[in-house]
């Protein structure tokens, strides 16, 4: 166990944290980095008790900065001091990660020293709280759509990370719970292999000890999808507005072509706006080829939408062209997100 350090970000911990650390030491781990993420004086006695163990290194934040920042603080400490661990294992402070599973991860890290190892929970069991089961399904789906990687558990905090990757992970954006999701996405981009190990699924008091804020932290996790949707909505409004303006400008000078000209001019300008927003605000990456790829995709989606609605209407239903258009374009909207993420704005 000398090859591994356990990292525990802790915010307002209780007796469960003390018991977990004791069990970790008894299992043979000789280095535990605990980050007090601004818990306050009320919890100082717990950290003082933890600090009495010779295996514990206690790091402190003056104010709460979030789980992501706490993990970065521990990563930075290891990198700065050039500590010679093979890997670190991150765990939560609430006792929901068993020491036996930490040992399981350490064994897999020995077998696969170049892989990041994730402790994957089984969410099919009946005792899993609904919000956790539902949240896992949603994040698994969205994560697969946004990265192309299929994982069993995207929200696990029990992770084995080779120390060689810590400098890269320090560059990953995010300060709170979204950081862990961003780390998983960065592994794919940096061609780092991921292995999953099945662990026990433990929930204490229906997971009431979790400091996850459903509104704030969910926004940070899902914001790429939210921004993509807002970008599409804003581009649609701009397209309609520009179309109306060009209709007024071209109706008299070009009475026979004003609708076609207004449609083309509005679509070109609104699509340039959409391209700019998606490249710089949504995906935040791209290359000199991105604009060409974007318009190839836009052309494909436009033709596919028209052809699909036409065929479904003419060859199958014979009615409901508006509903068909909405359904087809919804599917193409998701398809467009996947292609823009993986091809149009891919990291070269």
Same domain, 149 and 230: no
Q: Give Cβ neighbours of residue 321 (< 8 Å, ≥ 6 apart).
A: 309, 313
The CA distance from 165 to 145, in Å, is 25
The domain that contains 82 carries what CATH number? 3.90.550.10
pLDDT tens over the chain, length 348 residues: 678 999 999 999 989 999 999 999 999 999 999 999 999 999 999 999 999 999 999 999 999 999 999 999 999 999 999 988 999 999 998 888 899 999 999 999 999 999 999 998 877 666 666 666 676 777 777 777 767 778 888 888 899 999 999 999 999 888 887 888 888 888 877 889 999 999 987 765 554 545 455 455 556 556 777 888 889 889 989 988 998 898 889 888 888 788 788 888 888 899 999 999 999 888 888 888 899 999 999 889 888 887 887 787 776 666 666 787 778 888 888 888 888 877 888 766
The dihedrals phi and psi of 74, each to the nearest 5 degrees, come to -70, -40
Handedness of CA 242, 247, 252, 258 (dihedral sign): positive
| Helices then strands, each counted (H, E), the chain | 11, 7
The pLDDT assigned to 209 comes to 47
Same domain, 84 and 53: yes
Q: What's the domain range around 250? A: 214-284
Same domain, 85 and 142: yes
Same domain, 151 and 202: yes
The pLDDT assigned to 132 comes to 66
- Total structural domains in the chain? 3
Choose one of 184, 212, 240: the last residue of a domain.
212
Are the C-beta atoms of residues 106 and 4 closer than 8 Å to each other?
yes
Same domain, 162 and 30: yes
Question: Strand runs (DSSP E) across 163-309, as ranges?
Answer: 194-198
Same domain, 95 and 238: no
The pLDDT assigned to 288 comes to 82
Same domain, 196 and 273: no
Among 189, 192, 199, residue whose Cα is nearest residue 152? 199
The pLDDT assigned to 32 comes to 96
Same domain, 198 and 226: no
Same domain, 227 and 295: no
Same domain, 104 and 141: yes
């Amino acid at each position: 166990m000398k090859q591994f350090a356990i990292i525990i970000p802790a915010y307002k911990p209780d007796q469960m944290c003390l018991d977990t650390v004791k069990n970790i030491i008894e299992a043979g781990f000789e280095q535990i980095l605990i980050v007090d993420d601004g818990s306050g004086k009320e919890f100082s006695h717990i950290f003082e008790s933890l600090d009495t163990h010779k295996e514990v290194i206690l790091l402190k934040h003056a104010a709460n900065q979030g789980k992501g920042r706490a993990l970065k603080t521990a990563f930075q400490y290891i990198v700065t001091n050039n500590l010679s661990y093979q890997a670190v294992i991150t765990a939560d402070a609430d006792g929901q990660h068993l020491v036996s599973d930490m040992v399981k991860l350490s064994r897999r890290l020995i077998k696969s020293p170049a892989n990041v190892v994730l402790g994957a929970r089984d969410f099919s069991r009946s005792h899993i709280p609904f919000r956790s089961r539902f949240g896992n399904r949603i994040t698994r789906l969205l994560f697969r759509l946004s990265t192309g990687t299929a994982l069993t558990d995207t929200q696990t905090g029990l992770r084995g990370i080779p120390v060689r990757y810590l400098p890269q992970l320090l560059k990953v954006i995010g300060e709170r719970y979204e950081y862990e999701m961003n780390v998983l996405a960065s592994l794919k981009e940096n061609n780092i292999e991921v292995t999953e190990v099945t662990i026990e699924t433990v929930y204490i008091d229906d997971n009431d000890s979790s400091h996850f804020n459903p509104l704030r932290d969910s926004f940070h996790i899902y914001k790429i999808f939210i921004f993509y949707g807002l970008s599409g909505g804003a581009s649609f409004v701009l397209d309609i507005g520009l179309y109306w303006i060009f209709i007024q400008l071209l109706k008299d000078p070009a009475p026979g072509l004003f609708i076609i000209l207004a449609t083309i001019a509005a679509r070109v300008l609104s699509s340039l706006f959409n391209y700019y927003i998606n490249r710089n605000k949504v995906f935040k990456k791209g290359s000199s080829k991105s604009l060409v790829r974007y318009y190839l995709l836009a052309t494909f989606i436009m033709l596919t939408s028209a052809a699909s609605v036409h065929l479904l209407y003419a060859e199958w239903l014979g009615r409901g062209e508006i509903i068909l258009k909405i359904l087809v374009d919804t599917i193409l909207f998701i398809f467009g997100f996947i292609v823009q993420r993986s091809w149009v704005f891919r990291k070269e």
